[in-house]
Amino acid sequence: MINHPVVRLIRQNIFSLQFYKYVLVGLVNAALSTLVYLFCLRILTMHYLWAFSISWLFGILLTYVINFLLVFKPDEKLEFRKRLPKYFIVYCLSYTLNLLLLKILVSTTQADPFYLQFLILPLVIVINFTGFKYWALK
């Protein structure tokens, strides 16, 4: 039998309270990061990959603190040295995949990168939740 974290996540009740909290934090992050992305893209007229990178860095710090305190809460004390590097690695993996998919979709469809980002989001959510729950904030 396969004992991979993604398979375990699917086997257990994915709609647990913890997952709902994670999704809520993600929605807050998505809203704020989208505003940062839109601001960089439309107001500052940055290249879409730079704009995404800035909004992504903003999201890492925001969600690390909120996920640590409200969702996973592995310890009583927020530990940047112990868990932030693992959290950052999970985000780097999903960021790299997100960036590659965004680049491919923009170049093949010529569609607006702002809207294409929403197509990629569900995959990123699953990757991040699994990585945070079973490794970074375990």
Helices (H) and strands (E) in the chain, counts: 5, 0
Distance of alpha carbon 69 from alpha carbon 90, whole angstroms? 18
Which of helix, strand or coil describes residue 112?
coil
pLDDT, residue 136, reads: 84
pLDDT, residue 11, reads: 55
> pLDDT tens digits for the chain (138 residues)?
566 565 565 556 555 788 888 889 989 998 999 999 999 999 999 998 899 889 988 988 898 888 888 887 766 666 667 788 898 899 899 989 998 999 999 999 999 888 888 899 888 888 988 898 888 877
pLDDT, residue 42, reads: 93
Query: Could you list the residue range(s) of the whole structural domain that residue 125 is in?
Result: 5-136
* Count of structural domains, the chain: 1
87, 60 in Cβ contact below 8 A?
Answer: yes
pLDDT, residue 67, reads: 83
pLDDT, residue 13, reads: 58
pLDDT, residue 109, reads: 94
Token pair for residue 64? 């690390």
pLDDT, residue 38, reads: 93
